[in-house]
């Protein structure tokens, strides 16, 4: 079955204190988004979802960095939900699709392979990592400790058979949808988790960028 990467990149760089959207900031002398796309270079197709206003700048970056990895560009929507939905429209039904954050450039080939291998009809597969910090639920002036033993942070790529996830995205948008897994579950899909990787961080702050640079050394 054909493997397709759907990479979603709609960041603005506000938490980076940067006028440049975070996916275009340099990581090891290459824009973060290019580092991310490279991790899926062995896939048959790569679909990149960007705000339409960033197409020209992205194409200029590809030219200046001699970035020739083949990919399809798709206009993003008003939220991540609609951006993913737009990207899915470009993917045929006989595929395995890995939906990935454009600013997670350090995902390993091994993790990608493990997720793909476990993806089946009606079952989506997502990587998670255990919560290490103590957790408290705060409501007003009161707070209570929460048992963290069964709590995990969710990562991407999140993988599904394309026909399954496309059907799930025909639902009306809900504020409950925080990722693709929640959309899938809302449409009676089942989610399997596998242990992800600590280095598969989502770069959203200047500190994250510095950590990613250390990981790439």
Strand-pair category, 135-139 with 142-146: antiparallel
Q: How would residue 214 be classed by pLDDT, with cut points 50, 70 and 90?
A: very high
Question: What is the tens place of the pLDDT at every residue in 20-42?
Answer: 899 999 999 999 999 999 999 99
What mean pLDDT value characterizes the chain?
95
pLDDT at position 200, please? 98
Q: How would residue 15 be classed by pLDDT, with cut points 50, 70 and 90?
A: low
User: With contact defined as beta carbons under 8 Å apart, do 190 and 168 qualify?
Assistant: no
3-state secondary structure 161-181: EHHHHHHHCCCCCCCCCCCHH
Residues 6+ apart with CB under 8 A from 111: 127, 196, 197, 200
Question: Which domains are assigned to the chain?
Answer: 2-215 (3.90.550.10)
Q: How far apart are the first and last CA of the chain?
A: 35
Question: What is the tens place of the pLDDT at every residue in 123-175?
Answer: 999 999 999 999 999 999 999 999 999 999 999 999 999 999 999 999 999 99
pLDDT at position 20, please? 86
Q: Which two tokens stand for residue 91?
A: 């993917």
Question: What is the tens place of the pLDDT at every residue in 73-98?
Answer: 999 999 999 999 999 999 999 999 99
Nearest to 182 by CA among 154, 150, 148, 146: 154
Provide the whole-model pTM.
0.95
Exposure class string for 42-56: b at 16+ Cβ within 10 A, else e: ebebbbbbbbeebee
What Rg, from alpha-carbon coordinates, does the chain have? 17
């Amino acid at each position: 079955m054909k493997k397709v990467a759907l990479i979603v990149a709609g960041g603005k760089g506000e938490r980076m204190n940067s006028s440049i959207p975070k996916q275009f900031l340099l990581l090891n002398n290459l824009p973060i988004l290019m580092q991310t796309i490279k991790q899926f270079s062995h896939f048959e197709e790569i679909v990149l979802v960007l705000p339409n206003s960033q197409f020209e700048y992205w194409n200029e970056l590809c030219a200046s960095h001699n970035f020739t990895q083949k990919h399809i560009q798709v206009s993003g929507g008003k939220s991540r939900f609609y951006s993913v939905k737009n990207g899915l429209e470009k993917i045929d039904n006989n595929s395995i699709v890995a939906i990935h954050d454009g600013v997670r450039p350090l995902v390993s080939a091994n993790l990608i392979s493990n997720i793909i291998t476990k993806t089946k009809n009606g079952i989506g597969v997502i990587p998670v990592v255990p919560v290490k910090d103590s957790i408290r639920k705060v409501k007003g002036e009161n707070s209570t400790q929460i048992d963290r033993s069964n709590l995990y942070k969710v990562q991407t790529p999140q993988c599904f058979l394309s026909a399954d996830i496309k059907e799930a995205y025909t639902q009306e948008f809900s504020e409950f949808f925080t990722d693709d897994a929640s959309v899938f579950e809302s449409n009676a899909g089942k989610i399997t988790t596998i242990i992800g990787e600590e280095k598969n961080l989502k770069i959203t702050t200047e500190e994250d960028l510095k950590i990613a640079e250390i990981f790439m050394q």
